[in-house]
Amino acid sequence: MKIGIITTSFPQDLDDPSGNFVLEHAQWLADQGHQIHVLAAGNTHPDKPCPSFHPAITVSRVPFHGELFYQGGAPDNLLDFKKNTRHWLSALRFMWTLKKHIKQHLSHCDRLIAHWLLPSGFIAHRVFPNKPILMIAHGGDVYLAKTLRLTSYLTELFNKKNIHIVFVAQSLQDLFLKQTNLTFKQQTSVVPMGIDVHRFTILPKQINTKPKVVFLGRLVPIKGVHVFLKALTSMTSPVEVIIAGDGPQKNTLETYVKQHNLNVHFTGFLHGKKRDDFLASADILVIPSIVTASGRTEGTPRVALEAMASSTAIIASDVGGLSSFPSNVITRVPPNDDHVLALSLEQCLLQSHHRHQQIKIAKQWVTAYDWNVIGDTLEKNILTSLE
């Protein structure tokens, strides 16, 4: 089968973590014998040819202007219209360009997969209204549609037998379907993105002389790193704290660390094996995500699944897809509550037996999120059944 994938986030090179789950999804489909053509936001560079991700994957880039993508993230850049007029102008120009590229590059495809409802799913459907399309909603797109009051319009537009929408978290499906009928709900599913479980389970687990507590992700407000740092100011247990990632908040967070004399190390983005080894070297991964003023929160962070496969304990905010994880595989705390987060960290460090029991259960539970399971669900149960 020839499958076209439309996405606004996709690795620019082999070391780029942006949209890595889209690449892994494409690679899994290619391994099943499909021919994949990826259409992704990105500007090509004559002196930097597109890397070969897989013999059966072709990548075409859709140029854009400014910093709409691959910085803090398009939804964050667009949600405040007054401050980000230039981003909206870039978005409108990009949508026009994307429309032309979809028509030019993907007309031969039997099926389309659109990562993010906006703009990928919307534009793909406008270009090919009768072509089978699997749309995958990751979070920012759902909250953007809600903020712009487009949910009812999109529901009506997508209410066709050739379209199926997958939400990566139950909370996203609930939010999107709040004002829709039950008939449309049958065209939706909840399926998180997968991971390569084996890749993480084979990593050696090191024993740290001082417990290592880490954060791994983009340094943007929704990730709640500022809450994590505030929690550290009231902790007494000796720990090694490392923040791996980059983003618009980095300078602000580093300033906070200096002002409060915290022993925190920032590594910047980690790629490939360094990233995997870093995750496996940690004793505890903290995912302190918050609910933003616009109501936006996480989908289902894959880093939580990767940590489970790496035998790393997790303390995470009770938000989004994280809320649906069983209580025996993750320690949940209220979002934006640095006091409870600090107490939970202290307790997790002291109760090592409980922590190791949680790790053992989580490592078994996470096997259901391997790409061989998730990919099969998306392909056989949904994609191939579209009319």
The answer to whether residues 117 and 145 touch, using CB atoms and an 8 Å cutoff, is yes
241-265 mean pLDDT? 96
Domain region containing 309 = 197-368
Question: pLDDT grade, residue 77 (50/70/90)?
Answer: low
The order of strands in the sheet holding 111-115 is 57-62, 35-41, 2-7, 111-115, 133-137, 163-167, 188-190
Residue-level pLDDT at 212: 97
Report the sign of the C-alpha dihedral through residues 343, 366, 272, 37, in that order: negative
Cα gap 343→100, rounded to integer Å: 53
Question: pLDDT grade, residue 345 (50/70/90)?
Answer: very high
Q: Residue 207: is its pLDDT beyond 90? A: no
Residue-level pLDDT at 82: 47
First-to-last C-alpha distance (Å) of the chain: 14
Q: Higher-confidence residue: 276 or 156?
A: 276
The string of DSSP codes covering 331-386 is: EEE-TT-HHHHHHHHHHHHH-HHHHHHHHHHHHHHGGGGBHHHHHHIIIIIIGGG-
Q: Which of 124-133, 179-188, 196-205 has the lowest average pLDDT?
A: 179-188
pTM: 0.90
Mind listing the pLDDT tens digit for each residue in 16-74? 888 899 999 999 999 999 999 999 987 665 455 667 889 999 999 988 765 555 555 55
Question: Are residues 90 and 143 located together in one domain of the fold?
Answer: yes
The answer to whether residues 78 and 116 touch, using CB atoms and an 8 Å cutoff, is no
Question: Are residues 374 and 363 located together in one domain of the fold?
Answer: no
Question: Are residues 343 and 364 located together in one domain of the fold?
Answer: yes
User: In the structure encoding, which two tokens stand for residue 369, read together?
Assistant: 């999120």
Question: Are residues 150 and 282 located together in one domain of the fold?
Answer: no
The answer to whether residues 156 and 145 touch, using CB atoms and an 8 Å cutoff, is no
SS3 label, residue 71:
coil
The answer to whether residues 151 and 157 touch, using CB atoms and an 8 Å cutoff, is no
Q: What is the CATH number of the domain that holds 271?
A: 3.40.50.2000
Q: Residue 348: is its pLDDT beyond 90? A: yes
Residue-level pLDDT at 86: 61
Q: Nearest CA to 243 among 9, 297, 232?
A: 232
Question: Are residues 245 and 158 located together in one domain of the fold?
Answer: no
Question: Are residues 28 and 109 located together in one domain of the fold?
Answer: yes
Q: Residue 81: is its pLDDT beyond 80? A: no
Question: Are residues 170 and 141 located together in one domain of the fold?
Answer: yes
Q: Residue 85: is its pLDDT beyond 80? A: no
Strand partners, 287: 316
Residue-level pLDDT at 1: 92
Q: Which of 131-135, 243-247, 377-381 has the lowest average pLDDT?
A: 377-381
Question: pLDDT grade, residue 298 (50/70/90)?
Answer: confident
Question: Are residues 179 and 55 located together in one domain of the fold?
Answer: yes
Question: Are residues 352 and 252 located together in one domain of the fold?
Answer: yes
Question: Are residues 71 and 44 located together in one domain of the fold?
Answer: yes
Report the percentage of the chain scoring pLDDT > 90. Answer: 68
Question: Are residues 53 and 123 located together in one domain of the fold?
Answer: yes
206-225 mean pLDDT? 94
Any idea what the Cα angle at residue 234 is, between residues 229 and 237, rounded to 5°?
A: 95
Q: Higher-confidence residue: 383 or 24?
A: 24
Question: Mean of the per-residue pLDDT values for the chain?
Answer: 89
Question: Are residues 13 and 126 located together in one domain of the fold?
Answer: yes
Mind listing the pLDDT tens digit for each residue in 138-158? 988 898 888 888 888 888 888
User: In the structure encoding, which two tokens stand for residue 1, read together?
Assistant: 């089968």
Who contacts 236 (Cβ-Cβ below 8 Å, separation ≥6)?
Answer: 346
Number of domains making up the chain: 2
Cα gap 10→20, rounded to integer Å: 6
Q: Nearest CA to 90 among 63, 128, 122, 110?
A: 63
